[in-house]
Amino acid sequence: MDIKHIPKKPLPAIYSWLGDRIFLTVIIVLGLSIILMTAGLALVTIVDGWEAIKEFGFIGFITGKVWDPGVNRTFGALPFLFGTAVTSVGSLALAFLPAVAIAVFISEYAAPWLGKMIDNMVNLIAAVPSVVIGIWGIFVFAPWMRETVYLPIYNWAIENNPSLLPILGNPIGYGMVSATIILALMIIPFITALTKDAIDQVPVEQREAAYALGATHWEVIRMAVIPYARGGILAGSILAFGRAIGETMAVAMLIGNKNTLPFSIFGPAATMPSVIINEFREAVNSLHLSSLMAIGLVLFIISLLVNLLAAYITKKLAIGGGKTA
Amino acid sequence: MRKKNSLCALGVVISIVISFALSACVRKGSESSEEKLNIIGAGASFPAPLITAMADEYRTLTDKRITVNYQSIGSGGGIRQFVEQTIMFGMSEAFLDDEVLALIEESTGGRAFNMPVTLADVVPTYNIPGVGKGVVFNSEVLTNLFLGKITNWDDPAIAELNPGINFRSMPVTIVHRSDGSGTTNIWTSYLSSVSQEWKTTVGSGTSVKWPLGVGGSGNEGVAGAVMNSPGAIGYNSLSYAILNDMPYGSVINSSGNIIEPSFEATTEAANIELPADTRVLFTNTPAAYGYPIAGFTWIMVHENLDKNNAIKSRSEAIEVVRFLVWAITQGQELSELLGYARLPQTAVEKNIAMIAEIKWEGEKIGQQVLDEFQLGRDNEIANGDTAVASVE
């Protein structure tokens, strides 16, 4: 006697008819609501930022160099665009190679126990709140950078090459370089996680074929693994880039918040999220508020473009997708 | 099996509903015959500790009947919410400008009153290795420092004011607020009133276009930046500098006296001829022994309280006015303990004159509450129940 196959009493038909439809409805509503919320977000930023865009023109606003909420009430977003561009590109450039190297080490070289431990540690960096990293930066990292890196270079420049001083700027410790390095630290986990997944998905046949051709371990990685995984690597990088663009707290605490161009290497700067978080609360004047919203809109558009670019590149570069050779 | 599950679920739901109903009944039963009231205010973060302490004290005084609920969302937020009538009173370190007053005149048919409730003072804090508290600054030196014209601490202008201190050559780093703040408003309005150049190039306000320097977020950000950078100078509120043991300087005021920042000097600064609506920045005060870098923190309240959508009834309006009167008189006792300077008599008088004009549907309830206080001054609010009965 097969005990496992005792048939259960069948459900009344209404359960399956109604249940499926309810489930479908709920799923569709949830999915659509995400799209609607994003559209709503875009709409609100456009509506609230409209006053500033009307006043300065969209191109005029983006290329405007002066952010003056005091006397002249003119607002231009160029300093912040510049600051965001430099810090995000800089942090990606700094973080890319170490992150990929960590991922390769975890998947290819490390013993399993070591690999797992490093993987968890790296994910832990992503779990640390941005504000905590900011505080560590203010009290530990920035003074250390000031003493060990900025001041020696600054003092060397004073003696040997004073013409460099305006480019170097005031070595107070809070500035673009400190913020870029901290940002690089914060985005490493994103690149590493996606790269590691991509590397793990490379089929064993590819590796064995490379070994069969007489390749060393490094050559196998270079010839067979990384090219196969490049879609994932790039997706990880661009995701990290998107994160770096929008990173607010740590950057606001470390970047020194100088809203006027020109920026210098060691001196303070500003990014789009940092100016929004600094000035939003107390912005009484409606043009000021509208300009901050317009900066939010620009940030939104940039993130959207970055994500679209990421999707396109991943599709093109992934093996088996797109029209690549 | 399913039947058991659904019965269980039903049971849980029923018990939740019953417990809610019971708790509502219980709460209603324990309430006193008088209604409890939440007075809702919002605005600047600077006076938030003082208002919170006042709210606590007032709650005890009224036998837990009146709870003042203050949200520190910033002066800008306070003004916005005040105009949109979502709060009963607002607080701001900047008085309402003519535009906003005209708006309120239009929408409520009455004025909006700016009533000073405490004083804010801003001191120059610095980090010069080997030099402690008490470096003397004057208006030219401060202006030139923040304009970038004085770039080193061994500048003769600074040495002239401080004959007893030997300044080593050290580059100056300016630290300012990166977020919009009433402290910045006071600092820049002082610089604007002593320097025409500052007024035309940088101006004053909660956020300005600083010619140079590093921005820190909040009092903490500036303090952190100053304390971590040798040769830095920034500005903080006096109580913050005292609490965090930071060296701060004295300033020479317009009468030529060296004023060491203190709560008394701040109160003294406001002890001048005030306009009737108190909308004045008394930085660079004419008072002989007043500290020159200080300002009011205002409570904003409508003249016609019935037109404020946040206030629902006459009794609510009366409670709001009662709290106001208490805050500017007995509530001031909490000031020094928390690190605030109390209002001078001139400001209190102007406030009383404004409160007397507060109306509910044309009736001058402000004057009634003031009479109550004048009469019941020894009894304190706790015995105000009799006053409630008589006013109602």
Rounded Cα distance, B358 and A205, in Å: 85
Q: Among A131, A275, A282, A285, which would you mutate to test the B interface (most chain B Cβ atoms within 10 Å of its Cβ)?
A: A282
Nearest CA in chain A to B228: A143
Q: Give residue A5's pLDDT band: very low, low, confident or very high (50, 70, 90).
A: confident
CA A54 from chain centre, in angstroms, equals 30
Which residue in B179, B202, B229 is closest to A172 by CB distance? B229
Q: B197-209 pLDDT, tens per residue? A: 999 998 888 888 8
* Predicted TM-score of the model (pTM): 0.78
Q: A126-145 pLDDT, tens per residue? A: 999 999 999 899 889 988 99
Q: Look up residue B327 and give its amino acid.
A: A
B174 Cβ contact list (under 8 Å, min separation 6): B145, B146, B148, B210, B212, B213, B214, B232, B233, B234
Q: Look up residue A2 and give its amino acid.
A: D
Q: A289-323 pLDDT, tens per residue? A: 899 999 999 999 999 998 888 888 878 876 654 33
DSSP string, A176-228: HHHHHHHHHHHHHHHHHHHHHHHHHTS-HHHHHHHHHTT--HHHHIIIIIHHH
The domains of chain A are located at 14-316
Residue B23 has a CB neighbour count (10 Å cut-off) of: 10
Indicate yes or no: CB of A69 within 8 angstroms of CB of B75: no
* Overall average pLDDT of the B295-310 stretch: 89
Indicate yes or no: CB of A256 within 8 angstroms of CB of B76: no
For B183-210, b/e burial (b = at least 16 CB within 10 A) is bbbbbbbbbbbbbeebbebbbbbbbbbb
Q: What is the ipTM of this complex?
A: 0.74
Q: Are strands B214-216 and B173-177 parallel, antiparallel or unpaired?
A: parallel
B271 shares contact with chain A (CB less than 8 Å): no
Instruction: Give chain B's mean pLDDT.
Output: 84
Coil, strand or helix at A71: coil
Q: Which CATH architecture has domain A14-316?
A: Orthogonal Bundle (1.10)
In the block, residue with structure tokens 């940039």: A302
Q: Among B84, B174, B207, which would you mutate to test the A interface (most chain A Cβ atoms within 10 Å of its Cβ)?
A: B207
- Integer CA distances (angstroms), A274 to A180, A248, B132, B197, B226, in order: 13, 6, 33, 29, 20
- Return residues 203-262 of A near B (CB < 8 Å): 252-253, 256-260
B218 shares contact with chain A (CB less than 8 Å): no
Instruction: Give chain A's mean pLDDT.
Output: 88
Nearest CA in chain A to B198: A71
A to B CB pairs, distance under 8 Å: 108
pLDDT of residue B185: 87
Name the minimum distance, in Å, from the CA of B76 to any CA of chain A.
4
Which residue in A68, A70, A174 is closest to B225 by CB distance? A174
* Structural element, H or E, at residue B365: helix B365-375
Q: A64-112 pLDDT, tens per residue? A: 888 888 777 889 899 999 999 999 999 999 999 999 999 999 998 999 9
pLDDT of residue B382: 41
pLDDT of residue B42: 92
Q: B68-104 pLDDT, tens per residue? A: 999 988 777 888 889 888 999 999 888 888 888 998 8
Coil, strand or helix at B389: helix
Rounded Cα distance, B185 and B206, in Å: 5
B217 CB neighbours in chain A (<8 A) are 252-253, 257, 278
Nearest CA in chain B to A174: B214
pLDDT of residue A324: 37
CA B6 from chain centre, in angstroms, equals 57
Q: A151-202 pLDDT, tens per residue? A: 888 888 888 887 877 788 777 888 899 999 999 999 999 999 999 999 998 9
pLDDT of residue B26: 54
Q: B238-271 pLDDT, tens per residue? A: 888 888 889 999 999 888 889 899 888 888 888 8
A68 CB neighbours in chain B (<8 A) are 208-209
Query: Does residue B383 register a pLDDT over 90?
Result: no
